Amino acid sequence: MEPDFEVIVVGAGPAGASVALHLARLAPTLARRTLLLERATLPRPKPCAGGVTGKGLAVLGGLGLTLGVPALPIHRVEVSLGAQRWAVEAEGLAVTVARGAFDHWLAREAVAAGATLHDGEVVTGVVVGEAGVRVATARGTYTARCLVAADGGSSTVRKLLAWPPSTHRARLLYVETDGPPEDVATLSLDFTPMAAGLHGYLWDFPSPLPTGVGCHRGLYDRGDEGSRRGNLKPLFRDALAARGVDLDACVLGGFHERELARGVAVARPRLLLAGEAAGIDPLFGEGIAQALAHGGLVAAEVARVATSGDWSFRGAAGRFARSRLGLELAGGRWLANALYQPRGPARLARLFAAPGIASLAARHLAGRLHPAVLAMVAPPLLALGALGLGWRGHPA
């Protein structure tokens, strides 16, 4: 019997919408038989600092899309560690967006490209059989040849199918304030609290508000073995106070993120994970560009399989690991392991002292550098940085 759809995608965030948009380019017939099931009614609020790096903008460009929501262009990323500061400057490093509006725009583009969207419909059950998948929601049951789990960090599909849990779950604290940050074209990352055991950083990002420019401020802790235990709130309170912000006057949000664990399966017969349901970058906790890129890889797998008729997705995990995104996430994990530990602050200072690192970082953020090139040039540059032959951080 013919299934109701060829593909069901659970979650209409950046990963889910990206799957549908890429399918529309690679296999338009499949895209027209793709169902996006979204728990929330769109537009939905999404707690997020809204930083979309050039890597993500490049994916949108590849889809022929120009950003359809207000965005603040970012030309500078500033990294600080105690009294030292380094800056990376270039056009097109990133933009910041309001996430609810951005995700809604992307989902509308997916519908315009042929996908069917059911929002306000939560997925409650999944059965994967030899002949196809069956997905239950509060409103009904749908069948398809395959399922894509793009339902984010707390993926329902993963839970329903008893997918192995993540080893690390990053912790984030986050507030939004009305006034703009010091510079509305700069993303600030402050690694100073690493000295106090944080495996992460504080961020201050400008954010577009209907009334002007506001500021997203937050704390990222990788949540791995040895990272600061217990309550992160006092540390965040002090950091905000140093920025002239009273935590008690803000609405505080606490969240988790899933990082892509080493060797985690991203595919099973008739099933693929996409975006944060699989896992994102453990170094910065960046997930939007990664979700957009992952959508492209997943769509390529589905398009490939649709012609062969073999829905086992054999080899998909290897292709993912060798892809640009797979290499980038593995590199991020390697760097996170090297930096988020007691010797981390000294290593971070050495990293930024390496010659040419600023321009490499700029090209990486803007999506103009392949991670394999970065992996080749980084070790000699780091060695030069360790010898003190490089770029000096300047005192704040």
Ligand X SMILES: Cc1cc2nc3c(=O)[nH]c(=O)nc-3n(C[C@H](O)[C@H](O)[C@H](O)COP(=O)(O)OP(=O)(O)OC[C@H]3O[C@@H](n4cnc5c(N)ncnc54)[C@H](O)[C@@H]3O)c2cc1C
Cβ proximity to ligand X, 55 vs 270, nearer residue: 55
Among 7, 19, 23, 51, binds ligand X (CB under 6 A): 51
Among 5, 24, 38, 194, binds ligand X (CB under 6 A): 38
Q: Which of residues 168-197 bind ligand X (CB under 6 A)?
A: 172, 174
* C-alpha distances out from residue 384 to 84, 174, 332, 379, Å: 19, 37, 21, 9
Query: Beta strand pairing status for 212-221 and 141-149?
Result: unpaired
Among 123, 175, 297, 382, binds ligand X (CB under 6 A): 123
Cβ 172 to ligand X shortest distance, Å? 4
Cβ proximity to ligand X, 123 vs 147, nearer residue: 123
Listed in sequence order, the residues at least 6 apart from 135 whose beta carbon sits closer than 8 Å to its beta carbon are 8, 10, 37, 123, 125, 126, 141, 142, 143, 144, 147
Q: Is 13 in the site for ligand X (CB under 6 A)?
A: yes
Cβ 209 to ligand X shortest distance, Å? 15
Q: Is 334 in the site for ligand X (CB under 6 A)?
A: no
Cβ 41 to ligand X shortest distance, Å? 10
Cβ proximity to ligand X, 208 vs 218, nearer residue: 218
Q: Are 294 and 18 in contact (CB under 8 A)?
A: yes
Cβ 272 to ligand X shortest distance, Å? 13
CA distance 206 to 186: 7
Tokens 């509060």 correspond to 138
DSSP-based three-state secondary structure for 133: strand
Cβ 381 to ligand X shortest distance, Å? 25
Cβ 51 to ligand X shortest distance, Å? 3
Q: Is 12 in the site for ligand X (CB under 6 A)?
A: yes
Cβ proximity to ligand X, 84 vs 177, nearer residue: 177
Q: Is 367 in the site for ligand X (CB under 6 A)?
A: no
Q: Is 297 in the site for ligand X (CB under 6 A)?
A: no
Listed in sequence order, the residues at least 6 apart from 281 whose beta carbon sits closer than 8 Å to its beta carbon are 259, 260, 287, 290, 328, 329, 332
Rg (CA), the chain: 21
Q: Is 296 in the site for ligand X (CB under 6 A)?
A: no
Query: Beta strand pairing status for 71-81 and 186-190?
Result: parallel
Q: Select the residue whose beta carbon is closest to ligand X and give its number.
A: 287
CA distance 306 to 300: 10
CA distance 18 to 14: 6
Residues touching ligand X, count (CB under 6 A): 37
Residue 43: cis peptide before it, omega within 30 degrees of 0: yes
Cβ 302 to ligand X shortest distance, Å? 17
Site map 217..256 versus ligand X, x via CB under 6 A:
-x------------------------------------x-
Q: Are 298 and 325 in contact (CB under 8 A)?
A: no
Q: Is 21 in the site for ligand X (CB under 6 A)?
A: no
CA distance 331 to 367: 15
State the angle between helix axes of 344-353 and 357-365 in degrees (0 to 180), rounded to the nearest 10: 100
Cβ 152 to ligand X shortest distance, Å? 3
Among 151, 221, 301, 328, binds ligand X (CB under 6 A): 151
The DSSP string of 68-81 is -S-EEEEEEEEEEE
Tokens 């996006």 correspond to 36
Cβ 294 to ligand X shortest distance, Å? 7
Q: Is 291 in the site for ligand X (CB under 6 A)?
A: yes
Q: Is 105 in the site for ligand X (CB under 6 A)?
A: no
Q: Is 160 in the site for ligand X (CB under 6 A)?
A: no
Chain residues binding ligand X by CB under 6 A are 10-16, 37-40, 47-51, 122-123, 150-152, 156, 172, 174, 218, 255, 257, 275-277, 280, 285-289, 291
